[in-house]
Amino acid sequence: MSANPFSLWVYLSQTPLLWLTVTLVVYAIADAASFATHRHALMNPVLHSIWILGVFLYLTGTSYTVYFSGAQFVHFLLGPATVALAVPLYESRKLVMSAIVPMLMALMVGSLTAIVSVILLSEAAGLPRDVVLSLAPKSVTAGVAMGISEMLGANPAITAVSTAITGIMGAIVVTPVMNALGITDFRARGFAAGLASHGIGTARAFQVNEVAGAFAGIAMGLNALVTSLLVPIAVTLLVK
């Protein structure tokens, strides 16, 4: 047996299975805490999983590259999970078609607001051009946002971080904001969540109500399409 008490850890820390297991265990604990608090907005499992994993990686001196060698298996499931949103969409198809016109109007307004507001605020703050470009697609799901960022010659890493922050913030504030505004229609609540905060907002919407989740999934998918078309135009017109 090795005299080094940390030899086992050194070996395990380089194996993808360890980091996959750590990711799943941390999320399971965060989700259980969220459930125990009746899905309180501030107990978002994604938010708490991120900081817990971040602290763990920092304390163990583990690089993101090593961690992602295991976490990439969860990342791979983002695609199938997004496609699976078609199931509740199909089940709610009649409800969706009954609100198609206001949905399309809200889509255009919401998408333009998300893009133009972040560009103008970033420009006003004097941020570098590549950072402004990286922030522009922040309100769409990460895979699409990073693709747009690469197309613009921006930094996909900044885009990924801003997208995650946007999703978490949206998931936290959507319920109290909608309650404060007196909006009780779950179609509107879900659509707003998916439009503003993509997958994380959609997950939150499903926790609250299945109809809200279905409309959030629709908004997330449509916004990805519209944003990919509008961002290059907005960047050309607004970014100095």
User: Which residue, among 32, 107, 89, 117, has the nearest Cα to 205 in the 3D structure?
Assistant: 89
pLDDT per position as a tens digit, 155-176 = 888 888 898 889 899 888 888 8
In this prediction, the residues of the chain whose per-residue pLDDT falls under 50 are: 1
- Return d(Cα 174, Cα 194) in angstroms, integer: 10
pLDDT per position as a tens digit, 72-110 = 777 777 767 767 766 766 777 777 777 788 888 988 999
Reported pTM: 0.77
For the chain, the structural domain boundaries read 1-76, 79-240
User: Which residue, among 79, 102, 18, 92, has the nearest Cα to 221 in the 3D structure?
Assistant: 79
Query: Can you list the pairs that 129-136 forms with residues at least 24 positions away whose Cβ atoms lie under 8 Å?
Result: 129/239, 129/240, 130/154, 130/155, 131/155, 131/158, 132/239, 133/235, 133/239, 134/158, 134/159, 134/162, 135/159, 135/162, 136/231, 136/234, 136/235
Q: 64 is written with which tokens?
A: 């993101």
